[in-house]
Amino acid sequence: MDKIKLIACDMDGTLLNSKSQISPKTLESLNKASKNGIEIVICTGRTSKEITQYTKQIINAKYAICTNGAFIIDLKSNKRIFEDQLPLKEAIKIIEITKNYDVSLEFFNENGAFLEKYAFENLKEYHLEKFTELLHSTCTPIENIKEYILKLGTPVDKINIFCKNISNKDKIINLCKDNLNAKVTFSLEYNTEINSPTASKGTALQNLCKQLNIKSKEVIAFGDSSNDISMLKFAKYSFAMGNSIDEVKKIAFKTVSTNDEDGIAIGLEMLNIPNKNYI
């Protein structure tokens, strides 16, 4: 019987419901687990400044895996304890690859999130209106992303590509896969996410577990999209949300209900966590 020591949760489409909230039932389940000594780790494509309102709701949350595994942050000290960033030359290639498409770019580094000014002012055109409050409170609008990145002259955590025309998404994904030395995933219908070729939620989760002396058989993970697959493969007990893409459902230990139906809480109940912290 395996004692569970860590629960890893994706955010959008998993921990958060369609109203971008943690439901009371899910929050209660996670906080009960935390009170029983289980580490609760948010694993997200967002940067750390975009998740504060959620990590504060989880009792004793100590760590978060951000921007698809580009870094792990210690939530108490607000310091990074692991990094795997996208090289500058690959970031510039992304800008060149996408310049003939009607897309907007967002990039992340240790200073936060930066979004092209036009998209910042016209979020609905890029299907981002759901995130209006979040982006306007955490993002810095930039007139020229390429000039800004070149001026910084440093690696970035991640780049998001938002398509105005969703039909272009597959073309852009293929172009990026064919021309970049990078990891290409997505978490939303209209976005493409570019990371270092070795960065992933799974790699970062494995690194964190090594630091905490936790084995994969002592880990539960929940996710719904392509950027969650690596961490679901790492955890012995992996759960696909009911709203997951098929690829996630195929590799998961179990599929639970959707993010609007307390899938995380139901998954933990299936394993009798935290009432009996073993399987």
pLDDT tens-digit map of 8-56: 999 999 999 999 999 999 999 999 999 999 999 999 999 999 999 999 9
pLDDT confidence of residue 277 = 54
Q: 2 pLDDT exceeds 90?
A: no
Task: Dump pLDDT digits (tens) for 61-81.
Answer: 999 999 999 999 999 999 999
Q: Is the dihedral of CA 212, 215, 220, 224 positive or negative?
A: positive
Q: 1 pLDDT exceeds 80?
A: no
| Confidence band, pLDDT 50/70/90 cuts, at residue 166 | confident
pLDDT confidence of residue 276 = 59
Helices 88-98 and 145-152, interaxial angle, to 10°? 170
> Do 89 and 159 form a contact (C-beta atoms < 8 A)?
no
Q: Domains of the chain by range and CATH?
A: 6-83+199-270 (3.40.50.1000), 88-195 (3.30.1240.10)
Q: 210 pLDDT exceeds 70?
A: yes
Q: Which two tokens stand for residue 167?
A: 């039909």
What is the C-alpha to C-alpha distance for residues 57 and 64, in angstroms, rounded to an integer?
Answer: 13
pTM score: 0.90
Q: 278 pLDDT exceeds 60?
A: no
Task: Dump pLDDT digits (tens) for 51-66.
Answer: 999 999 999 999 999 9
Instruction: Please choose, from the candidates 86, 54, 55, the residue with its C-alpha nearest in 3D space to the C-alpha of residue 71.
Output: 86
pLDDT confidence of residue 189 = 83
Averaged confidence pLDDT in the chain: 94
